[in-house]
Chain A
Amino acid sequence: MLVFIIRRLMQSIAVLFVMSLLVFCGVYAIGNPIDNLIPPDASAADRARTIAEFGLDKPLWEQYASFLHNALAGNLGDSFAYSTPALKLIMERFPATMELAVCAILIATVLGIPLGMWSAMKQKSAGSKIVLATSILGFSLPTFWVGLMLIMLFAVKLGWLPSSGRGEVQTLFGVPLSFLSWDGLRHLILPALNLALFNIALVIRLTRAGTQEALLQDYVKFARAKGLPNRRIIGVHVLKNILIPIITVLALQFGSIIAFAIVTESVFAWPGMGKLIIDSIRVLDRPVIVAYLLVIVMLFTLINLVVDVAYSLLDPRVRLSEIKG
């Protein structure tokens, strides 16, 4: 098992290098690299200093090397707009976005899987058709519009929930989280729901298809022949078999959720990375853009690694063949 993890880890690190190279080439090679590190109105002395510090007069691969060196030390330049280290800025906002994203995934799982299973079991019922039709809507509706509608309905018309911002924040293990307080939860529900919508529809579809297929399998018939209660057949036998592909897809969707957080955070003025990156793109605050991209790349690679490991834990056939192989 350990060998497996180490092997995957090595692969991930290799991917990280390639990605950082791409980011570097993409952002630094387009246009004058100096513009990425210094505001246009900086003095000549500052320019010279930065050139020396980042080795911008050296050949490209040396630049990449020093870029990498600096990056590993956490130095990605200072934000033009805020004059604080770009990485620090991103990491300050990181917990807020993660909180939103994790919440969204949880909602998608908790709502999507039962609804999908139910819809597969009661195929002909009106309820099932409604669930399916709603899932098409879930795919089609652009995230930002749903967000607007949610605000319109819950904040403006009904006045139940706040329309923007993050609620009260408490620190847990040094990480500022907001779902621990009632106020925080109130602020969290709408944006999380907004972000989750597409994935709820996706999970419903996947679960439904998976359950339909599973119900036709021999092991379900055998379980019935053993006289097991339906509850157990569906809740244990079928569920464990369909969970694997669903979790895989959801985990891979996590990256997409983080990306779409950009939209949700803009709509709900949620102080996360997404809002920061939009503002930064608008004013061309390149250090922040680069820092964001690198953090995202690391996150995606990490997610892929975790998915691989989790997959092998969940599917005993994979785990054992890895140990043998």
Chain B
Amino acid sequence: MEKPVLEVKNLTTHFTSRAGIGKAVNGVSFSLKAGEIMGLVGESGSGKSMTGFSIMGLIDAPGKIVDGSVRLNGRELVGIGEEQMRSIRGNKIAMIFQDPMMTLNPVLRIDTQMVETVLAHQNVSTAMALQIACNALRRVGIPSAGERLSCYPHQFSGGMRQRVAIAIAMLNNPELIICDEPTTALDVTIQSQILSEMQKLCKESGTALIWITHDLSVVAGLADSVSVMYAGRIVESGTVREVIESPRHPYTHGLLGCAPSRNVRGRPMQQIPGMTPQLLQLPSGCAFRDRCARASELCRVAPHLVHAGQGHEYRCFHPMENTREAA
């Protein structure tokens, strides 16, 4: 068994406000091997982005990581000083955000923004850094990379900008890239291009990937494993095949059922009733019980983790049937 690149154990991030404590990330655990692509799926407010930020150490007051550990190749990241964390960000762990127009500085040229990333972590000359940047742009499929370097972000189309962001993420050959909904703001066709691009790059370079999204269908085509989050907790995780073909947690099942492609024409679309709970007012026990058709008195207690074999895990007292066994 290879040693995992990333090991997250019981990560807990709280946001303190006058109205109470918001448990954005509530005891999240997972691990990633080198080159593995994991999808982190959930609705908005599920804590998936916060998990990503927590790993990067980008949680600002009033938020704080209060418990848990994040180990990168065995090295503990929670609690190390800011200076050490800074040397890891953009270097060993990189992040891609949702809207590249907002994340690229509009008044600085692309080459400036790329070269500074290289120079912050590698001891090379500026000319060398420029070369590295140019190569990175080529790798992500941007035509006439050399000229494009002197352009400004607004001169690129949406898809191109995201490719630039990917190029920036790969500049220092990170071991892990966290992508926070990078294709949500793009057209579907561009989306699939970006997806296959990323898959290719990761396989080539052996970089692990956490793909944060609310769209399970994206994960199905892209990832090796998937973790489903709800109200700050991972409610189900496993290989993509396992989870999608045989979802055990009612929420996962609901999510899959909601996907338009799954519907038989003519039948009303399935919905999960209700809305995601406010993090400040979580019900006790299983956070999903207010919306779950299968909930009972038992669910007032937080469900423990059940191992269903082959890495498939879930937290539920009333899981769905195991449809794979029946097949």
Q: Is A228 an interface residue (CB 8 A)?
A: yes
Q: Is A221 within 8 A of B103, CB to CB?
A: yes
Contact A317 B90, CB 8 Å, known A227-B121, A228-B120, A229-B120: no
Contact A226 B107, CB 8 Å, known A218-B102, A320-B155: no
Contact A218 B88, CB 8 Å, known A223-B105, A317-B152: no
Q: Is B107 within 8 A of A224, CB to CB?
A: no
Q: Give the A-B contact count at a CB cut-off of 8 A.
A: 77
Contact A225 B90, CB 8 Å, known A219-B102, A316-B152: yes
In Å, the complex CA distance between A240 and B89 comes to 23
Q: Is B56 within 8 A of A225, CB to CB?
A: yes
How big is the B interface, by class? 20 to 34
Give the Cβ gap from B316 to chain A, nearest Cβ, in Å.
Answer: 34
User: Can you name the residue of chain A whose Cβ is closest to the Cβ of B168?
Assistant: A226
Give B65-104 as 1s and 0s: 1 = Cβ < 8 Å from A's Cβ atoms. 0000000000000000000001111110011010100111
Q: Is A237 an interface residue (CB 8 A)?
A: yes
* Chain A contact residues, majority secondary structure: helix
In Å, the complex CA distance between A227 and B107 comes to 19
A237 cross-chain contacts in B, Cβ below 8 A: 105, 108
In Å, the complex CA distance between A225 and B107 comes to 19
Taking CB atoms and an 8 Å cut-off, the chain A residues in 266-325 that contact chain B are 314-317, 320
User: Can you name the residue of chain A whose Cβ is closest to the Cβ of B87?
Assistant: A227
In Å, the complex CA distance between A241 and B102 comes to 13
In Å, the complex CA distance between A259 and B145 comes to 52
Give A200-237 as 1s and 0s: 1 = Cβ < 8 Å from B's Cβ atoms. 00000000000000000111011111111100100011
Give the Cβ gap from A300 to chain B, nearest Cβ, in Å.
Answer: 28
Q: Is B116 within 8 A of A222, CB to CB?
A: no
User: Can you name the residue of chain A whose Cβ is closest to the Cβ of B101?
Assistant: A218
Query: What is the number of residues of chain A that contact chain B, defined by CB distance less than 8 Å?
Result: 23
In Å, the complex CA distance between A236 and B116 comes to 11
User: Can you name the residue of chain A whose Cβ is closest to the Cβ of B107?
Assistant: A240
Q: Is A241 within 8 A of B107, CB to CB?
A: yes
**Which of A218, A219, A227, A232 sits near B89, CB closer than 8 Å?**
A227
Q: Is B304 an interface residue (CB 8 A)?
A: no
A232 cross-chain contacts in B, Cβ below 8 A: 116, 120
Q: Is B58 within 8 A of A224, CB to CB?
A: yes
Q: Is B86 within 8 A of A219, CB to CB?
A: no
In Å, the complex CA distance between A232 and B103 comes to 16
Q: Is B120 within 8 A of A317, CB to CB?
A: no
A217 cross-chain contacts in B, Cβ below 8 A: 102
**Which of B56, B108, B154 sits near A236, CB closer than 8 Å?**
B108
In Å, the complex CA distance between A320 and B153 comes to 12
User: Can you name the residue of chain A whose Cβ is closest to the Cβ of B171?
Assistant: A226
B51 cross-chain contacts in A, Cβ below 8 A: none
Q: Is B120 within 8 A of A225, CB to CB?
A: no
Q: Is B97 within 8 A of A221, CB to CB?
A: yes
- Name the residue among B90, B95, B105, B106 with the largest chain A CB count within 10 angstroms: B105
Contact A227 B117, CB 8 Å, known A218-B99, A218-B103, A222-B97: yes
A317 cross-chain contacts in B, Cβ below 8 A: 106-107, 152, 154
A227 cross-chain contacts in B, Cβ below 8 A: 86-91, 117, 120-121
Give the Cβ gap from A5 to chain B, nearest Cβ, in Å.
Answer: 21
**Which of B58, B106, B108 sits near A225, CB closer than 8 Å?**
B58
Q: Is B104 within 8 A of A219, CB to CB?
A: yes
Q: Is A228 within 8 A of B99, CB to CB?
A: no
Shortest 10 CB-CB contacts between residues of A and residues of B:
A227-B90, A226-B90, A227-B89, A218-B102, A222-B103, A225-B95, A219-B105, A316-B152, A226-B117, A218-B103
Q: Chain A interface (Cβ within 8 Å of chain B)?
A: 217-219, 221-229, 232, 236-237, 240-241, 244, 314-317, 320
* Beyond known contacts A226-B94, A226-B117, A316-B152: 12 more, CB 8 A cutoff: A219-B104, A219-B105, A221-B58, A225-B58, A225-B94, A225-B95, A227-B89, A229-B86, A236-B108, A237-B108, A240-B108, A314-B107
A-B contact pairs, 30 of them (CB 8 A): A217-B102, A218-B99, A219-B102, A219-B103, A219-B104, A219-B106, A221-B58, A222-B95, A222-B97, A222-B103, A223-B105, A224-B58, A225-B58, A225-B89, A225-B90, A226-B90, A226-B94, A227-B86, A228-B117, A232-B116, A232-B120, A236-B108, A237-B108, A240-B105, A241-B106, A314-B107, A315-B107, A316-B154, A320-B154, A320-B155
